[in-house]
Amino acid sequence: MSGDVADQRETTPMSTVLDEFSWRGMLQDSTDGAAEHFAEAARTAYIGFDPTAASLHVGSLLPIMGLVHLQRAGHTPIALVGGGTGLIGDPSGKTQERQLLTREKAAENAEGIRRQLEHFLDFGAVSNSARMRDNLDWLGALPLVDFLRDIGKHFSVNQLMAKESVKRRLADEETGISFTEFSYALLQSYDFLELFRQEGCTVQLGGSDQWGNITSGIDLIRRVEGERAFGVVFPLVTNSAGTKFGKSEAGNVWLDPDLTSPYRFYQFWINTEDQDVVRYLKFFSLLPREEVEALEVSVRDEPHTRRAQEALARDVTRRVHGDAGLAGAERATQALFGGDVTGLSAMEIADIFSEVPSSKVGRDALSGAGRSLVEVLADCGVASSRGDARRAIEGGGVYVNGQRITEVDRTVGMDDAVDGRFVVLRKGKKNYHLVEVEG
RNA sequence: GGUGGGGUACCGAAGCGGUCAAACGGGGCAGACUGUAAAUCUGCUGGCAUAGCCUUCGGAGGUUCGAAUCCUCCCCCCACCA
């Protein structure tokens, strides 16, 4: 890298967006000239999101952060919701033909995604406000004959068949690939072309699995418009354990608080392994380089303080769930991992444990001799069966109101209910369950 | 269509008339140690009224005092040959 280029970057802050991606480890690959393209002027760039579900999960967080960095650097980010392509399905990375979404479902999901993206991007900025588009706007009204003439003409079936995702499916006699999915690359390329025409969008970003689709779009723009466009792809997020990133014991970690509570969301990040935490800080937080580097030192020299995990959890949770969501998650964490439950009032418990799974039980069931703990554990789902509950107690893994229970025949009665209203059950270190007394 | 091999618990895989709720490995859960990390070690891992009973070994019948194990029929996979 020569000196004068560096100087130029000093004076134009938006030139740094690829540098930003680069030091954060987010830059897997980019087409030639992409860095210069961003350096020269404020650009418009887009990323597509598939409306396969009504909520995004943390697996989509990296591309979202990509848009955030673009906007911060002065460029205009477009989030393209694939209301149209969602009806088709991208064969990339899929070994099976995809289940088709209904139009209603795709529209509903697109709307949910739209709401979530608003947490990350500024849609009301003066100069480079983020935009949201839905490709159903142009795909839905596209006459087949026009599509074949104007778009299909530019694609070589020979090249499409050479694509890795298509090749693998062709090799598999059993599954094969439908014409519908085979055509997916054309549709995504057409999206890029439309955004180029309508929005002056010259760059497409995406996960590294999108590289082929992105370059197809670039080619299409060159052929149809005679103009140059660019692509940037992010790496696949992995964790050091080799398991899929974004899964917790409870399954996918969603951005929707109704699907994954802010408390669970926060806990997902707090539990990040040392080996992954610095990489994740670069990917998912907006902390500046110096701070990330300081935290990296902290992970090395004083790992027990877990400052890096905390910084990560705070930054990401605040962005997704807001200050109130973060505060609630931290309060619950503090009470659950820091202190003793028995000292709290019913109101405090209700507040803190609103994040935690709960069930109700009738007052009369607990009066008198009470119910056997084994039964209660099995009924509320903390244990999968009575035998499981029994074994968990025998293994020393069950707590009532923070006190370890050792007697298998222990009963739960009204005197266990804090303020006569709540019993806090816990199995293992992290699994809490709140039993609310009714009536 | 033919021949051969096979279907066992969450997964992989032993068992091949009683001693089988079924070895072993993985996964999962819990415990210890820690830092709500990783690694390691330990225990548990069909259900229930837990020294006992009930339901499981592709499905349905049968033989037997007794079957995951033997017989019959059926279903499904895999390999090779057509």
Establish whether the CB of A251 is closer than 7 Å to any nucleic acid atom in strand B: no
Establish whether the CB of A244 is closer than 7 Å to any nucleic acid atom in strand B: no
CA-based nearest residue to A351, from A366, A334, A364, A374: A334
Q: At what angle do helices A274-284 and A307-333 cross, to 10 degrees?
A: 80
> pLDDT digit string (tens) for A188-211?
999 999 999 999 999 999 988 888
Interface ipTM above 0.95: no
Contact predicate A79/A131, CB 8 Å: yes
Residue A372: nearest nucleotide (C-alpha to C1'): B49
Establish whether the CB of A386 is closer than 7 Å to any nucleic acid atom in strand B: yes
Contact predicate A21/A66, CB 8 Å: yes
**Confidence class of residue A3 from pLDDT cuts 50, 70 and 90?**
very low
The C1' atom of B32 and the CA atom of A247 lie apart, in whole Å, by 27
| Among A199-208, A219-228, A414-423, the least confident range | A414-423
- Predicted pLDDT at A27: 93
The C1' atom of B81 and the CA atom of A173 lie apart, in whole Å, by 20
The residue ranking higher by pLDDT, A5 or A83, is A83
pLDDT at A361 over 80: yes
- Predicted pLDDT at A398: 92
Establish whether the CB of A116 is closer than 7 Å to any nucleic acid atom in strand B: no
**Confidence class of residue A5 from pLDDT cuts 50, 70 and 90?**
very low
Task: Report the C-alpha gap between A285 and A306 in whole angstroms.
Answer: 16
Residue A266: nearest nucleotide (C-alpha to C1'): B36
Percent of chain A having pLDDT more than 70? 87
- Nearest residue, CA→C1' of B49: A386
The residue ranking higher by pLDDT, A142 or A198, is A198
Contact predicate A350/A427, CB 8 Å: no
CA-based nearest residue to A185, from A221, A208, A152, A207: A152
pLDDT at A399 over 70: yes
- Chain B footprint bases within 7 A of protein beta carbons: 28-32, 34-39, 43-50
Establish whether the CB of A241 is closer than 7 Å to any nucleic acid atom in strand B: yes
